[in-house]
Amino acid sequence: MLHGKFITLEGGEGVGKTTNLTFIKTYLEAHDISVVVTREPGGTPLAENLRQLLLDPASEAISEHAELLMIFAARAQHLKHVIEPALARGDWVLSDRFTDATYAYQGGGRNMRASTITALENLVQGTLRPDLTLLLDAPIEIGMARARSRSTADRFEAEKMSFFENVRRAYLLQAELFPERIKIIKANQALVDVQNEIISSLSTFLR
């Protein structure tokens, strides 16, 4: 039995996921909720090693299937060693990205079939899905400019703008398919306004 709630934060490059993670944790803790903050790809030593390989622009050309399987291999470790034990304890889990990112990047960006991703999702996750997903959405130029002002491009950030347009479209499609779970937050506004929208979604969820 999983007693905690599973919240994921999603969106394209530089939309403010990492910035808002601490804010959400603090908000939940103020409501007496114990929160485990984590991220994908990553969250365990093995999964963080896979993350490094996936993001390193110096990695050999990674085939689309290899990329997809590395992401789900990292996710399988993350679920078994971090997410499921935390939820079983009754903690809430707050993850910077999860499987919606796979539908967006590998599905939208790399044009892989949704049915292939769904098959791996069912294999690795069983019936586990996030309880709430906050999708930070902004025009891609805004997110890319923010991401580039902060660090050099990783293997994904080095993709063409059309890749990120497809990623954004695929995220918005996920939100259309799962309107009860995925709440869109407008990320192209001042941080305080972004955070007010986040609070509004969280307080509805808590009720």
What residues line the site for ligand T5A (CB under 6 A)? 11, 13-19, 40-41, 71, 96-97, 101-102, 105-106, 146-147, 150, 156, 190-191, 194
Q: Shortest Cβ distance from residue 103 to ligand T5A (Å)?
A: 8
The strands making up 132-137's β-sheet, listed across from edge to edge, are 35-39, 92-96, 6-11, 132-137, 182-186
In contact, 12 and 97? CB cutoff 8 Å: no
Cα–Cα nearest to 155, from 51, 25, 37: 51
Of 4 and 12, which has the nearer Cβ to ligand T5A?
12
Cα–Cα nearest to 43, from 102, 106, 86, 11: 86
Radius of gyration of the chain from its Cα atoms, rounded to whole angstroms: 16
Tokens of 12: 């394209």
Distance (Å, rounded) from C-alpha 181 to C-alpha 122?
A: 18
Q: Shortest Cβ distance from residue 172 to ligand T5A (Å)?
A: 16
Backbone phi and psi for residue 145, each to the nearest 5 degrees, phi listed first: -65, -40
Q: Shortest Cβ distance from residue 51 to ligand T5A (Å)?
A: 7
Q: Shortest Cβ distance from residue 5 to ligand T5A (Å)?
A: 19
In contact, 15 and 135? CB cutoff 8 Å: no
Q: Shortest Cβ distance from residue 52 to ligand T5A (Å)?
A: 11
Of 7 and 15, which has the nearer Cβ to ligand T5A?
15
Of 91 and 159, which has the nearer Cβ to ligand T5A?
159
Q: Shortest Cβ distance from residue 92 to ligand T5A (Å)?
A: 19
Of 93 and 194, which has the nearer Cβ to ligand T5A?
194
In contact, 74 and 61? CB cutoff 8 Å: no
Of 119 and 206, which has the nearer Cβ to ligand T5A?
119
Of 4 and 11, which has the nearer Cβ to ligand T5A?
11
